[in-house]
Amino acid sequence: PTLDFNFVAEKKLDPRITYQRTGPASFTNEFGKVVLVGDNTPRFDHNPTTRECKGLLCEESRKNYLENGDFVSSYGSGGSWAYGVGTDVFSASSGSQLSTNPDGSSPAYHYAPSSVAGYHRFNRSVTLDQYDTSYVVSVFAKRVTEGSVSGLNRYLEIEISGNFANNGAPTGHSGTHGMSGITYDLQDGVVENPSTNYYGYVRDAKMEKFADDWWRLSYVFNPGTNDGSSSLTGQIWFGHPNSLGNDDGSETGNGNPSFYLWGAMIEKGGHLTSYIPNHGPENSTRGQEFAVIDGEDFTDFYNPLESSVLAVGTMQRPAASQGQLNIFHIGDNNEDGHGVFREHGTKDVWYHIRNNNSTPSGGNLNPNGFGDWDAGEEARIAIAFKDGDQAISVNGGNQITAAVTSSYPTQTSTISKMWIGSHGTGSFFEGTIKRIAYYPKLLTDNQLNTLTA
């Protein structure tokens, strides 16, 4: 190959790649820690359990709707957060209970139910911006074990309620309103009540293990429809449930803390993405990522007559959530050209040719038998193409070869750049990219299958 970016091995961008992204963002490093970064910093994400590098992280733009979500100051009743039982305490850990946060900062803050009987949890208001659509709530949580003898440090509940309970049930849901909630067992790592009919719409409740016994808890919810008396401002609650173990809604604590909490977030979308830090009364937005090779850096490796490309990546967006997502695109300033993407309706892999703003002019290739490119699934894709001859292979097979009239872009003199993770201004990839390699010749069918095996 004249171009070979192994993002997993290198964990940095080649200087030929121009990268841009605005706003705060994060990724997980090789030690399982969450790393917070600012503008224009590429992210190389890792599995928080195995510590394996997953590659260059590419995500759509998202906003964190939850203010004061970092939990790094003492939020008390009358302040940013309010307690269900006014004598409860949320304070910095110290002494034998001192803990760092998932990003390594210290101290972590913990929540302690008081000796007053009641439903021990705390809340704040949150304002969303759209009815009847999916949002994801998430938080990092950890049990306080040292000195915590109350027996109230196992189950943690997240609830979205308040005025959301006045909203009509989400479309396609058999519940009665827009309220939702999930309880998590931090001892055994079990989601206790992942029912789609628990209160309101609940989907994809997850627990992901991080370093130092931290969990990232999340679920997808829908605030419901507008029935004429509804609201897009409601409450988010963190704390003890009212029906599990020692938690019965009127439990009595003894002043010992139960949970460390950090990094809460509410984002609009149908799947969880990386943490977007919000400090104070902020609604921070992680901007869209752009990675491109152009100018002489592009013409030095590109053959306008015949080419082959290997792309390896893992999808983040579930197949059920449609969208055209380009893992790479070679084209001009009008986004004409050719590339590989996950198709809108079929959710599987396509090679696509676009000429003179026509969709498509030269045709598409779809590797029969591959099926949906789903969340968490790696696809190893190799394509070879020249005028009238093109082929595609995915994961060592599913190969198609075809003779398509004008299969190569006709305006080859204006093909001037390669986008990684998009086709320019849209169709952004969502997931991690392990490798992009370019060959300035038409590889054989057997070579494509070998590359993707």
Cβ neighbour number for residue 152 with a 10 Å cutoff: 24
DSSP assignment of 130-169 equals -SS--EEEEEEEEE--TT--SS-SSEEEEEEEGGGGGSBP
Distance, in Å, from the CA atom of 16 to the CA atom of 355, rounded to the nearest integer, reads 26
pLDDT on residue 405:
52
Q: What does pTM read for this prediction?
A: 0.93
Distance, in Å, from the CA atom of 252 to the CA atom of 123, rounded to the nearest integer, reads 19
What letter represents residue 40's amino acid? Answer: N
Give the SS3 label for residue 315.
Answer: strand
> Given phi > 0 = left and psi -120 to 50 = alpha, else beta, which region is 188?
alpha
Distance, in Å, from the CA atom of 173 to the CA atom of 177, rounded to the nearest integer, reads 9
Give the SS3 label for residue 215.
Answer: strand
Token digits of residue 326: 């380009």
Token digits of residue 191: 């989601």
pLDDT on residue 407:
58
Rg (CA), the chain: 25
What tens digit of pLDDT does each residue of 28-78 get? 999 999 999 999 999 999 999 999 999 999 999 999 999 888 887 656 555
Q: 272, 277, 285: which is closest to 316 by C-alpha?
A: 272
pLDDT on residue 149:
61
Element (H, E) at 447: helix 445-452
- For the chain, 453 residues long, the average pLDDT of each consecutive 10-residue run is 96 96 97 97 97 97 92 65 87 93 94 89 93 96 83 90 90 84 93 65 92 96 85 93 78 86 96 93 92 95 92 93 89 82 82 66 68 91 86 84 60 81 90 98 93 94
| Number of separate helices (H) and strands (E) present in the chain | 3, 31
Cβ neighbour number for residue 396 with a 10 Å cutoff: 14
Cβ neighbour number for residue 99 with a 10 Å cutoff: 21
What tens digit of pLDDT does each residue of 114-164 get? 888 889 999 999 999 999 999 999 999 999 998 776 678 999 999 999 999
Give the SS3 label for residue 414.
Answer: helix
In the block, residue with structure tokens 């008390």:
76
CB-based contacts of 147, cutoff 8 Å, min separation 6: 96, 97, 256
